[in-house]
Amino acid sequence: MDQRISIITLSVSDLATSRAFYGRLGFSEASISQDGIAFYAMGTFVFALYPTDKLAEDIGEDLPKATAGGVTLAYNVRAKDDVASVLSEAVAAGARLVKPAEDVFWGGHSGYFEDPDGHFWEVAWNPHSPLEADGSLRVS
């Protein structure tokens, strides 16, 4: 198996609400989106939103209520001050602020918001792993 992820799918309780939320954040749906699923091209992978009941049916297992469950999504920014700006943008779009922007132990600056289905997003500035011109994260 190659070291890559093709699609990250979040289960959502109300697809229309989630589509509207991510649209307010500035996410543009890919043309392959359909009535029952939303796709967003994210560079090297695809981000998807799919109703919880449909995802459970596809997997063949019941899914627990959406929670972080030890998983967070991260959105890195180019400058320290951008963390607070993006968190404010998320709150204006309907997110719940979980943790305001602050300096963190690893030398960066970050905060968290929660989307309408309880998925946690970290917004971070990391001086040790700057973003490339194309928005990808440089790690070594």
Left if phi > 0, otherwise alpha if psi is -120 to 50, otherwise beta: which for 81? alpha
Q: Decide if 121 contacts 22 (C-beta within 8 A).
A: no
Domain boundaries, the chain: 7-59, 73-125
The whole-angstrom separation of Cα 121 and Cα 68 is 9
Superfamily of domain 73-125: 2,3-Dihydroxybiphenyl 1,2-Dioxygenase, domain 1 (3.10.180.10)
DSSP 91: H
User: pLDDT value at position 80?
Assistant: 98
Fold match flag (7-59 vs 73-125): yes
The whole-angstrom separation of Cα 113 and Cα 115 is 7
pLDDT tens track, the chain, 140 positions: 888 889 999 999 999 999 999 999 999 999 999 999 999 999 889 999 999 999 999 889 887 765 556 688 999 999 999 999 999 999 999 999 999 999 999 999 999 999 999 999 999 999 998 888 888 887 77
User: pLDDT value at position 32?
Assistant: 95
Chain centroid to Cα 76, Å, comes to 11
CA nearest to 84, candidates 65, 70, 102, 105: 102
**Max CA pair span of the chain:** 44
Assign 90 to helix, strand or coil.
helix
Q: Decide if 103 contacts 39 (C-beta within 8 A).
A: no
Which two three-digit tokens encode residue 127?
């001086």
- Read off the pTM: 0.87
The whole-angstrom separation of Cα 67 and Cα 52 is 12
CA nearest to 38, candidates 57, 53, 17, 56: 17
Task: Give me the CATH topology for the region 7-59.
Answer: 2,3-Dihydroxybiphenyl 1,2-Dioxygenase; domain 1 (3.10.180)
